[in-house]
Structure 1
Amino acid sequence: MSATESAPAGLTLDLEGLAAHVGEHFGYTQWRTLTQEQVGQFADLTEDHNPIHVDPDHARTTPFGTTIVHGYFTVAMLAPFLQELVPVRGAALSVNYGIDKLRFPAPVPVGARFRCGAELAEVTEVKGGVQMKVVATVEVENAPKPALVAECLFRHYS
C-alpha cells in the first residue's frame, strides 16, 4: 500500500486469527488536523502551558516557526487512530497495555494535516488471551520525518 492510500474499508480482525496477520501493514487513517483552540484545551487539562504549544507569537521566534501540538496529545490520538485501523472482533475485553517504545522524531505543527499508519508486529499468548504489538507511525503531510513512532501493546481476552 502506498503512502497516499487509506486503510481498507471495513477491515476487522478476528481474535482467533490475529497471528496470521503479523507483518501486515493496515494502511492509514483519514487525515486530521488540530486547532490552536484544541491544543489550548489540552494544555489546560494537562497543565502544560509551554509557550511552544500555546503562544503563537513566541512560537514564531523558535526553530519551528509556529505552535506545535504536544507530543502527548499526539500519543492520545493513537486511541482513535488504532481503533480505526486495527479493530479486533471476538474479544470479551480489550485493553491498552502500554507502549514499549515511543519516539517523537518531528513535531506536528498546529493546523497541519496528519494521519497514522499501523503494522501488526507481534502476537503472543497471555493468560486468557493474546497480546498484540502494533507499530504506529504518525506522519505529517509533506514532512520528511514521522512525528511519532510507537510500539503499542494491546491485550485481548476471550
Structure 2
Amino acid sequence: MIIIRNHAEFETHLGKEIGTSGWHTITQEQINMFAEATIDHQWIHTDPQRAATESPFKATIAHGYLTVSLLPYFWHQIADVQNLKMQINYSIENIRFAQPVIVNSKVRLIAKLVAIVNLRGITKATIGVTMEIENEKKPAYTGEVVFLYHFNA
C-alpha cells in the first residue's frame, strides 16, 4: 500500500501502476444483498437452480454494478490518502464489462494513475482500473474512476 499525503506525492505516481488489491470472493449472499439493495432480482443473479440449467455460465453471476461498487473497497487497500479535508467520488468513466463474474469467483483491482490535475488546490486524480478475475485471461472490466481530494494545507 502506498501512502499519499499531498498533491505533490500523488503526482509522482503519474503514468505508473499504483498497486494491486487483495483478492475478494463474490458470494451468493453478497449478490443477494446487492439485489435487495438495488431492487434488481434478475434470475441470472439470484436464482442458482435456474442459472444452473438455463444460464450459459451454469451458475449465477454478480451484477456488473456490484463489481463496480467494490472500487472504493479495493482502492483503500491500494492507497492510503491522508491529510484530507474531504474526498469526493467525482466520476466513473469508460467502464467496459469484458467478462461476467461467476459466483464464488475471486476478484481484485489493479490501479494506475493516468491523470492528475491541481484545480486551485483541489487534486483531481484519474485512476485507471482493471478488475481481474482469478484464473481468467479477460478482466471483469476496465475503466477509470475520478476522485477529488481536498488536502489540508
TM, length-normalised to structure 2: 0.91
The reply on whether 1:24 has 2:54 as its aligned counterpart is no
- Measure, in 1, the Cα distance between the counterparts of 2:147 and 2:7: 15
Q: Name the counterpart of 2:39.
A: 47
Q: Which residue does 2:55 correspond to in 1?
A: 62
Q: State yes or no: 1:12 paired with 2:7.
A: no
Aligned length: 149
Alignment-mate amino acid for residue 136 of structure 2: A
Unaligned regions of 5+ residues in structure 1, if any? 1-9
Where has structure 1 moved over 3 Å in runs of 4 or more? none
Q: What secondary structure sits across from 2:91 in the alignment?
A: strand
Q: 1:110 aligns with which of 98, 103, 128?
A: 103
Which ranges of structure 2 fall in alignment gaps of 5 or more residues?
none
User: Among the aligned pairs, what percent are the same residue?
Assistant: 35
User: Which structure has the highest strand share of the two?
Assistant: 2
Residue range with higher mean Cα deviation, 32-41 or 132-141: 32-41
Indicate the SS of the match to 2:60.
Answer: coil
CA distance in 2, matches of 1:54, 1:30: 26
What value does the CA root-mean-square deviation take over the aligned residues?
A: 1.3
Aligned letter for 1:43? A
Equivalent-residue separation in structure 2 for 1:79 and 1:90 (angstroms): 18
TM-score (norm 1): 0.89
Q: Alpha-carbon deviation of 1:19?
A: 1.5
Match of 1:85 in 2: 78
